[in-house]
A and B are shown apart, each in its own frame.
Chain A
């Protein structure tokens, strides 16, 4: 078979998806590194010069001088758009949101030195959480701020709340409970109110109002933060043009008036909106309507030098609030702040009583920003180096100028402006790096992904032709290379530097287009072949692109499994469905599962065809008796029952999103150590252990049933020894980790040691097992049949014809002794050739039995999945063992349903006989992986990541970040991984289960006829094997890729949606990471299959050493004489004298599908060769 081309094509397809995702995510998700340093009072932000002069201007400690304001009231009105705050007396017929806040206008006109109203421009993303983070840290938070603890939402970056706390201000907070999660334990007093329910306009506001005024007149506070949510919720619910908005704004007007009345002279009032809203009341994006909020500053004592003048800023960026407030209240500016002080707030010339002068404030500000820039550029490299050096030069010039000006005492007029310019340019640089969507990149990513999906579809349809044509990848790769080189050259020519993303994008698109263009020819070949067969009348022979559309069009979209897949993709565009994803996917899986028997019944395949005398005689009669059909149908329904059962039980393992109000997370998600009731704990432990045991038992039972536990290879060793050992390790680990902290004081050290060692031992065993499976995947055990007694004495003492456990000797010992003999004997019988065929042919029975040959491909894969499952279970809470057992059962059910469907269609002559895996099982498989993502307690949100997985085996924490991240990723996507690794089983299972059908039908008939050859059919036609494998993999990739594409579309289309940062963007991240891991493990599984294929070829060659001489005749498979199948790589049968022996060997392969001869005493039926054996002749 063609191994490398298949793997190459899959790698190429995965690569295209990765490029598309990389492009989109690069344009959509902006990543910034958090700098976890804090400013302190001792920071020498002032120039040393001051100290030398010894004046009051140069305090050695930053916080000591008396600040201008002792207290501050920060009133945050969520979504207070600037338009709401403006008052236009000329407007005679104001809309509901206009002219409802006259207090600002009145104050500004009546007390110009005390108050100002500015437009306050937020940075995208304009969502409340990001905005609170923005105007408290003074930085530009992006969707992902890579910080030290990803798990909690608490702000670890330096921020004004922290700084104010450091200088001993008592802070009181009331309002939106987001603050409480962002700043846990920072407040002197805190009154959080639930913010989640968008429909609720009044709870938060009324809660604040009940406490606000009494607190204001009291003396136990220095800084008061009140966050009103009503306006925002009103916008979301009704939009700005609604009477409710007018009421809400009028209420806010009253609130501000009352607050102003109660202010004392040393108090500063800041009223601000965190963001604006669109005309429909939403926010999140970057339009001016969303970013422009209002900022109102007021103090009973004069705040500004005079009435508004020309030089004042027209718009205040949101970051500028933090440095201004810090300096006014006498605290250091937070470390990562990028804002510049609001100059009008500072006196133009130094004056000891009025605090810092404008120039001093700017200088302090510039030094702080420069320090941050230096630190950040060391930590992260995303700011262009060229830009960075320009900024550095700018700062050193400024620094020299400032020191000169201070030293000489001569004011230099341009210094303030130049400091401001420096601050602005730093801010703009950072903004360009962190806070801007890149629509071009997003579009390019979308295009690459869409084309990749289309390409997967074409590949899966044309896989047969492609495999036989060969050289499929040449043109696309050349095109990619050419386009990439052109892109590099163009960028170098036009811009002077190269951005990798913009080289990958044209390369990917070019290679996709080249393939699609090339595929037209393949399609022509397919349709020609179909027409040639005479059955292609339905296929339209249109050519060109319209032909493509016809070919891919309605024929496709109307198939129910694809309809279900489409529904699944469409559901990713709705936030409600993403929130309810776990149940929605379960619903779809159940629907498609129930569709299978209904469809079979519709085609008349589920039940044996009724005896119908009027049936036209031309129809082929049913290939099998009704009893076999009935039995197969019953099997199908039984497995359907298993599927339905596991579907019904799986939601009980779901976790809960915060959006799901009345949901309670599954009790199994709690680690055992946290259960208080010791009886319950024991019960949970026993249940988990039992499911783990059952998992292992089922695996081993399956392997033994198909005779895969008999040989002495690496894979068998893994299954027989390592797997149980692994399970024991896991069970002990659970027991140890479930012990309460202070349960066994004497054994603390031992327990600590066990916590460290047991999981690590399990990891080591797992690694060893996977390695062994990879190195020696063949689980076939070959042995000669007991031949005619006439030959026995001549060669060696005859073996006992039947082995009975009742001989008195230990059966195990005797078997161990027996096996080498059998093997020797088999070798000998092969070596002396001719005579043995005479015997075996006379006998009519085969001469060699190969245990487990029928499942030679699936056994290592099943073992691999089983090992992987146990390993992934290790990273989960103990209770999830039950969920993993359900996963295994559901996998089995899906495989058996697929196998039974194939058998039923095959039995009644409705199946083409190819290895093609239809859409229904593949769609079910892909949906089940999402279903169990939820049913193993995961959710597509960041707070729900199971961080404890990173500490399994590393109770003391980690040094680096790669290993814990990998462990958490493995934990999160374990279901994706397992289903992807098991995906090729869909191809093998109908062949594995084929035996049953044939055996049922052929009892009593001659054994030499058509026999079950199980997976050897694949070796019989390697071409079709390759194409089926390629088709299955591309279909699976297509389904996964379509889901990724849908969530990418959701993120792109709904980037203004209220829920974009809460639902869609995390969903996109999870979907993309799931795709990444799925595709990697799918590739691994395919590689394992190909590895097995190589190993099987080698195994055949080893059994027939002298056959190598004929090997040079070419590796093609051929049917000659009586041999039903042969090897493609190594030897083939010819009519020469030599091959008589080979033919006999070939005739003699016997597939035995029974019992573990080493472990069990079930030796009898094997040697007697009863019904459990099937012959390949």
Chain B
């Protein structure tokens, strides 16, 4: 059972990661003058969109999401609306946090918001896919005994890696090296993406090596 789940997770993560790579490679063929630094926002949105689409597709196909009790259309619709609302709120939340961390308030608001969108698509969207629009559950997952499935554990790892990556990404900004990737928000978005990819790799491995210690309570 363990092996099956871990394999499923590893392949799902591989698909997501390949989505990220294709979102970087494909536009460079299609769009003239596309580059990660030069047209950073374009790259950022393409990656965010790709991650979102692949994530939703993978989790929907795998059927990881919480089974809903009711199957009425209105219920599904309300879940969808709430999910969208949460995504928007999460973008605003990340934007606020990034501004509090010292990003300029007005000057490059678009860049900051784009970073917030990327972070949302890397973290919040995954939460939505795994746990559904249920903030209580999100908070619960991020505690030591909060994970109830393998997917919860992988969620913990990827989200933590993404956030830490974005945090570390801010470190090169004050340096006087004058590199193109030191421009706001390139280093942070690169950092969060690298963190995310690390998380994708690390999660199945970590779970694999700790499968003896992991015990999940049933809901």
- A residues near B (Cβ < 8 Å) are 199, 574-577, 579-580, 583-584, 586-587, 590-591, 594, 598, 601-604, 607, 610, 614, 644, 647-648, 651
Contact = CB atoms under 8 A, between A and B. Distances in A.
Interface centre among B144, B174, B175, B217 (most CB of A within 10 A): B174
A610 B140 contact: yes
12 contacts: A576-B174, A576-B176, A579-B174, A587-B101, A587-B170, A590-B100, A598-B142, A601-B142, A603-B143, A604-B144, A604-B145, A651-B102
B139 interface: yes
A644 B143 contact: no
Contacts of B145: 604
B100 A607 contact: no
Contacts of B178: 199
A590 to B, nearest CB: 6
Given A574-B175, A584-B174, A602 B142 contact: yes
A139 B173 CA distance: 41
A583 B102 contact: yes
A74 to B, nearest CB: 32
Contacts of B217: 614
A602 B143 contact: yes
Contacts of B142: 598, 601-602
A578 B145 CA distance: 41
B34 interface: no
Contacts of B181: none
A943 B207 CA distance: 56
B167 interface: yes
A602 B144 contact: yes
Contacts of A576: 174-176
A1064 to B, nearest CB: 15
Nearest to A199: B178
A579 B99 CA distance: 21
A463 to B, nearest CB: 29
Contacts of B102: 583, 586-587, 651
A1094 to B, nearest CB: 45
A580 B101 contact: no
Given A587-B170, A648-B100, 7 more contacts: A580-B174, A598-B142, A601-B143, A602-B144, A603-B144, A644-B100, A647-B100
A574 B218 CA distance: 51
A590 B101 contact: yes
A695 to B, nearest CB: 24
Interface in B160-188: 167, 170, 174-176, 178
A576 B146 CA distance: 41
Contacts, number: 44
A838 to B, nearest CB: 53
A601 B100 CA distance: 21
B139 A601 contact: yes
Contacts of B101: 587, 590-591
A576 B143 CA distance: 37
Contacts of B167: 591
Nearest to B105: A648
Interface in B92-115: 97, 99-102
Contacts of A586: 102
B161 to A, nearest CB: 14
A601 B101 CA distance: 21
Contacts of B139: 601, 607
A575 B174 CA distance: 10
A602 B140 CA distance: 9
Top-3 shortest CB links A-B: A580-B174, A576-B175, A604-B143
Contacts of B174: 576-577, 579-580, 583-584
Interface centre among A601, A603, A607 (most CB of B within 10 A): A601
A587 B172 CA distance: 13
A1002 to B, nearest CB: 28
A601 B217 CA distance: 18
Contacts of A651: 102
B106 to A, nearest CB: 14
A290 to B, nearest CB: 22
A261 B170 CA distance: 55
A644 B200 CA distance: 31
Nearest to A607: B139
Nearest to A580: B174
A614 B145 CA distance: 13
Interface string B124-166: 0000000000000001101111100000000000000000000
Contacts of A601: 139, 142-143
A1151 to B, nearest CB: 36
Contacts of B176: 575-576
Nearest to B218: A614
A590 B178 CA distance: 26
A598 B140 CA distance: 11
Contacts of A590: 100-101
Contacts of A579: 174
Nearest to A605: B143
Nearest to A584: B174
Nearest to B176: A576
Contacts of A598: 142
Interface centre among A574, A576, A614, A647 (most CB of B within 10 A): A576
A580 B140 CA distance: 37
B112 to A, nearest CB: 14
A584 B170 CA distance: 10
A608 to B, nearest CB: 12
A621 to B, nearest CB: 16
A376 to B, nearest CB: 40
Nearest to A583: B102
B218 to A, nearest CB: 8
A908 to B, nearest CB: 12
A563 to B, nearest CB: 11
Contacts of A648: 99-100
Contacts of A607: 139
A37 B203 CA distance: 74
A594 B100 CA distance: 11
A614 B146 CA distance: 14
Nearest to A198: B176
A587 B174 CA distance: 12
Contacts of A644: 100
Contacts of B175: 574, 576-577
B57 to A, nearest CB: 30
Interface centre among B99, B140, B142, B143 (most CB of A within 10 A): B143
Contacts of A594: 97
Contacts of A587: 101-102, 170
Nearest to B175: A576
Contacts of A610: 140
Contacts of A575: 176
A510 B107 CA distance: 57
Contacts of A199: 178
A576 B174 CA distance: 6
Contacts of A614: 217-218
Interface string B192-219: 0000000000000000000000000110
B143 to A, nearest CB: 5
A579 B173 CA distance: 12
A604 B147 CA distance: 12
A583 B139 CA distance: 30
A8 B139 CA distance: 48
B92 to A, nearest CB: 15
A859 to B, nearest CB: 34
A1024 to B, nearest CB: 29
B216 to A, nearest CB: 12
A579 B176 CA distance: 10
A394 to B, nearest CB: 51
A930 to B, nearest CB: 15
A902 B99 CA distance: 30
A156 to B, nearest CB: 33
A587 B100 CA distance: 9
A571 to B, nearest CB: 9
A735 B143 CA distance: 55
B209 to A, nearest CB: 18
